[in-house]
Amino acid sequence: MYIEQFIDYLKNEKKMAANSLDAYGRDIREFNSFLSERGTGGLLEATSTDVVAYLNKLKAAGRSPSTVNRKMASIRTFYNYLLDEKFISDNPARGIKTPRIGKKEVEFLTIKEIDKLLESPDDSLKGRRDRAILEVLYATGIKVSELIDANIEDVNFRMGFITCYGESSKTRIIPMGRPARAALEDYVYEVRDQLVGDNKDEKALFVNYYGKRLTRQGLWKVLREYGEKSGIKHKLTPNTLRNSFAVHMLQNGADLKSLQELMGHEDIMATQVYLAATKNHIKEVYDKAHPRAK
Number of Cβ atoms within 10 Å of the Cβ of 173: 13
Residue 286 falls in the annotated catalytic set:
yes
Number of Cβ atoms within 10 Å of the Cβ of 8: 11
Among candidate residues 192, 226, 242, 274, the one labeled active-site is: 242
- Put the strands of the sheet holding 161-165 in their side by side order: 155-156, 161-165, 171-175
Cα–Cα distance for residue pair 188/206, rounded to 1 Å: 9
Catalytic site residues?
242, 286
